Structure 1
Amino acid sequence: MPETPQTVGLLLIPGFALMSYASVVEPLRAANLLAGKELYRWVHVSPGPAVVPASCGATVPCIKVEEAGPLDFLFVCAGGNPTAFRDRATLQWLRQLAARGVRIGGVSGGPVILAKAGIMDGYHMTVHWEHAPAVAESYPNILLTRSIFIVDRNRLSCAGGTAPLDMMHALIAEAHGPELARRVSDWFMHTDIRPAQSAQRASLAERFGIHDARLTAALELMESHPGEPLMRGETARRIGLSTRQLDRLFSEKLKSSYASHYRHIRLERARDLLRQSAVPLTEIALGCGFSSASHFGRAYRQAFGVTPASERRS
């Protein structure tokens, strides 16, 4: 157990997700309170403004990067569109901390900023599912997973939302024992502690309200092949159905056709890439299974009412 309080830096990117941030810092406060002594100290750090707004409009006073002092941990808290963050001084500071061996983590959109700093190559990393397609396209050297959090050596990444409660439970248990970690989780009525590899989203059965294993298997195949869409007959063959049986499943359970639902999956992925990455439109079109940029543009406008270029500008 650490003999002196650990100092935790919280780098708040304007528009950071307030729930994710609170799920990091509140367990530290509770650990101090329940232990009856100071186990953790924390400082709020800003890439620029003295007061940083959260996505909901709440604000947190911060110190400048150069005033942060020695840190044991640093967590980057971000939301919105972290791919738009380009502050060179802050990215250089993250690289310096990494070179010193500081344990660095990212929460919600924060892992994207760690990737932009170039300190996640060769590491296992997770990120909020909304940002995952853009990260996979832009940073092929990162070992991306869809877990709720990952601790890989001195790098930590967390999908955000309430998942930091689970990550902080693991970190408090590591430093001060499982009994204190359990008391902290009980303090927040967080009694169902999830392991790191837990899924970020509800299952397909829950998301679509379906309970047919064959249809679930078909949807899993479709979601895992957005760039090279599987032909209807191939999907039917893989799950042991005829094409007529597959069509009937989609019609009865989802009130849609196989082709229409597959197009929706691919367009949703394209929208995430447009919003969260700088990947060229033509590459997005081909990567989401469209034959050309013009074909993609027509389908996108029909589905969402705007062109891909307008989506990216907005």
Structure 2
Amino acid sequence: MSPSPQTVGIFLIPGFALMSYASVVEPLRAANLLAGKDLYRWVHVSPGPEMIAASCGATVPCMAKSGDALNLDLLLVCAGGNPTAFKDRKTLQWLRSLAARGLRIGGVSGGPVILAKAGIMDGHHMTVHWEHAPAVAEAFPNIMLTRSIYIVDRNRLTCAGGTAPLDMMHALIAEAHGPDLARRVSDWFMHTDIRPAQSSQRASLAERHGIHDERLTAALELMESHPGDPLKRGETARRIGLSTRQLDRLFSEKLRRSYSEHYRQIRLERARDLLRQSSIAITEIALGCGFSSASHFSRAYREAFGITPASERRAV
């Protein structure tokens, strides 16, 4: 059992996700309350400003800033919005120095992107919110990225955000103070279905599309795994053991759209994530999402979303 209290630094990036933040700090508060003593202390840290606003506009006062000499047991970086745009050199260097000292460091929601930008995730498995995953995969091809809700890999913790920190904090409280207290904390928040770390971040394809045909699900999995080099209808049909006519019928009857129409939507949605979450050139995004040219991509994008790729990026 770990000695108490532990001090947790919660590093807030402007535009952080309030739900992710609450899912981190509230279990710490509940653990203290239910234990009847201070097992945890926490300090809010910022890149500089004394007040940091969440994406919803709520603000949190921060008593410390990056570079300060803090006696921490754990630092968790909480980010949202577009974390790839974060470029504060002082913060990134501070994270590198803390990592070099062996501090346990984690990221929540978009926070793992900040850790990757600091260069402290090399050789570690990590996860990140599914919205940021395409941009992370493009920007950091050497990182071992998974789609789990959270991962604890030695002294690095990464979490997809949303309500997933409730599951991660359950594991951390159990690690330090035993499973009974962790269960009581989870019960306090009516979080009775504790998910294992490797749980999926999103509903299954069958649930998302309201389908129950294993052949169609297999086809969709293939399509989503090949957004940049789209598979021909015949190739997809061959891999799942159907004729092209049978494949066409499945899409028409179950999804009310053609194979090519659905595939284009998959590629456009991936492109939108990259436009919003990365600084990759629009032409590179077009080619990386299977479009023959930037002009072809722009026309398709405007038709689907009512805005050009350039306007989408400017809006972000």
TM-score under structure 2 length normalisation? 0.97
Amino acid at match of 1:91: L
Give the match's secondary structure for 2:7.
strand
User: Could you tell me whether the CA contact under 8 Å between 1:9 and 1:68 is conserved in 2?
Assistant: no
> Cα 1:68–1:21, aligned 2, differ >3 Å: closer, same or farther?
farther
Provide the rounded CA distance (Å) in 2 between the counterparts of 1:210 and 1:137. 31
Provide the rounded CA distance (Å) in 2 between the counterparts of 1:302 and 1:42. 48
Give the corresponding residue for 1:69. Answer: 70
Provide the rounded CA distance (Å) in 1 between the counterparts of 2:242 and 2:304. 29
Superposed CA offset, 1:253-285 (max 9, x none): 111000000000000000100110111122211
User: Could you tell me whether the CA contact under 8 Å between 1:45 and 1:68 is conserved in 2?
Assistant: no
Provide the rounded CA distance (Å) in 2 between the counterparts of 1:140 and 1:249. 35
Superposed CA RMSD in Å reads: 1.0
Further displaced range: 76-85 or 64-73: 64-73
Percent same amino acid at aligned positions?
85
Amino acid at match of 1:171: L
User: Could you tell me whether the CA contact under 8 Å between 2:148 and 2:198 is conserved in 1?
Assistant: yes
Provide the rounded CA distance (Å) in 1 between the counterparts of 2:294 and 2:97. 41
User: Could you tell me whether the CA contact under 8 Å between 1:11 and 1:45 is conserved in 2?
Assistant: yes
Provide the rounded CA distance (Å) in 2 between the counterparts of 1:163 and 1:128. 10
Provide the rounded CA distance (Å) in 2 between the counterparts of 1:281 and 1:67. 39
Superposed CA offset, 1:186-219 (max 9, x none): 1111110000000000011111111111111110
* Gap runs ≥5 in structure 2: none
TM-superposed deviation, 1:180: 0.9
TM-superposed deviation, 1:80: 0.8
TM-superposed deviation, 1:67: 3.9
Give the corresponding residue for 2:27. Answer: 27
Give the match's secondary structure for 2:212.
coil
TM-superposed deviation, 1:98: 0.5
Give the corresponding residue for 1:230. Answer: 231
Give the corresponding residue for 2:116. Answer: 115
Provide the rounded CA distance (Å) in 2 between the counterparts of 1:299 and 1:162. 34
Superposed CA offset, 1:275-302 (max 9, x none): 1011112221111111122221221122
TM-superposed deviation, 1:68: 5.5
User: Could you tell me whether the CA contact under 8 Å between 2:206 and 2:212 is conserved in 1?
Assistant: yes
Amino acid at match of 2:85: A
TM-superposed deviation, 1:225: 0.5
TM-score under structure 1 length normalisation? 0.98
User: Could you tell me whether the CA contact under 8 Å between 2:67 and 2:91 is conserved in 1?
Assistant: no
Further displaced range: 135-144 or 1-10: 1-10
Matched residue count: 314
Provide the rounded CA distance (Å) in 2 between the counterparts of 1:247 and 1:48. 56
